[in-house]
Amino acid sequence: MSFLALTALAIVRLKDLFAVVMLSGLYSLLSASFFLSLDAVDVAFTEASVGAGISTLLFLASLKLVGRYEKKSRYKPALALGIVMVTGALLVYGTLDMPHFGAVDAPIHQHVAPRYINDSMTEIGVPNAVTSVLASYRGFDTLGETLVIFTAGIGVMSLLLVSRQTKDQSKKKVPADMQQQIILRVVAKMMIPLILMFGLYVQFHGDYGPGGGFQAGVIFAAGVILYTMLFGLSSAQRVFKRQILELLTAFGVLLYGGVGVVSMLLGGNFLDYNVLRHDPVHGQHLGILLVELGVGITVASVMILVFFKFTWRTVKHKYNQ
């Protein structure tokens, strides 16, 4: 925890944005281990793949587009510092009433959590309580969050449109920057199938161990992004066509919503998986599997598309110069 604070302080001081981004990757990795030590295995999983992997990459890609150094600010930050101090002091005062760390009798553990832990095995039949809460008890939330990811994906796509001209210019081939790195390429060739396999494992094993659609989507996307970085955009886009990816983004959300509609048509509530099969527990299994698949598809294709868009921008800049 204290390491986290130190890293964050270093981020404030540094002017070199490249170092800032690298440090924030480190920060994510530290926070993943912090989550792990607090029993939040699923969260640690997500943070490690998202924070330390994809977000660092996206920041680096945009640094390539906007330049590496921060300019020196002309203003004195005294006022900002004052505001921050006052807010911080008020917040610390607020924590004095908080239940102590690790207390069993804290209010948060009294409301719905006992039901999730005690009854989810009989009601849902899935050992991982996080998955059953995510996909079943709070299925509406998760649908909303998938929609947010979908919307953000659309936003990035429309902001970073790639003109046909750029594509024609680079029709021949977009050469990979790392063509010469033989060791990296060989190692990556061995790693990528394993990463993709692991992504699928996380996807379908999310009921029993830590994992699920969100993590799996990000891990799968990370595999594809690794391939793109080392072997060039053209060869990656031969397999992952833009049109297909765009369709898949929408398909994931539709699959999720579709499960809800089907359960409504079968006489239950929206996203009530009990009615999908004769046996409620089997119905829940099927529902969770489909919903997680929808989440995974959307997350993976949005992440891959976003990365492609950023890379196309760099290609465009290169050709315009």
Partner 1 sequence: MNIIGLYNYWIVVLLMMIGFYIVIAHENLIKKLVGLSIFQTSVFFFYISMGKISGATAPILDEKWQLYSNPLPHVLILTAIVVGIATTALGLSLVVRIQEAYGSIEESEIQVQDTHDELENHLEAYGPGPNFAILNQDLNK
Does residue 190 interact with partner 1 by CB under 8 A?
A: no
Question: Quick one: CA dihedral 319, 184, 186, 62, positive or negative?
Answer: negative
The region of 9-17, 173-181, 186-194, 254-262 touching partner 1 under the rule CB under 8 A is 9-17
Q: For partner 1, which is the closer residue by CB, 115 or 189?
A: 115
Does residue 129 interact with partner 1 by CB under 8 A?
A: yes
Give me the 29-68 binding string for partner 1, x by CB under 8 A, dash otherwise: --x--xx--xxxxxx-xxx--xx--xx--xx-xxx-xxx-
Nearest CA among 295, 284, 282 for reference residue 256: 295
Nearest CA among 250, 43, 274, 46 for reference residue 139: 274
What secondary structure letter does DSSP report for 69?
B
Q: Shortest distance, CB of residue 289 to partner 1, whole angstroms?
A: 17
Q: Shortest distance, CB of residue 274 to partner 1, whole angstroms?
A: 19
Rounded CA gap, 249 and 247, in Å?
A: 5
Residues that bind partner 1 (rule: CB under 8 A) add up to a total of 103
Among 22, 26, 27, 258, binds partner 1 (CB under 8 A): 27
Is the separation of the CB atoms in 27 and 34 below 8 Å?
A: no
Site residues for partner 1, 292-321, by CB under 8 A, read: 299, 302-303, 306, 309-310, 313
The region of 122-130, 168-176, 177-185, 257-265 touching partner 1 under the rule CB under 8 A is 122-130
Torsion, CA 151, CA 220, CA 21, CA 17, rounded to 10? -70
Q: If you search the block for the tokens 């529902």, which residue do you land on?
A: 287
Q: For partner 1, which is the closer residue by CB, 6 or 187?
A: 6
Under DSSP, is residue 255 helix (H, G, I), strand (E, B) or coil?
helix
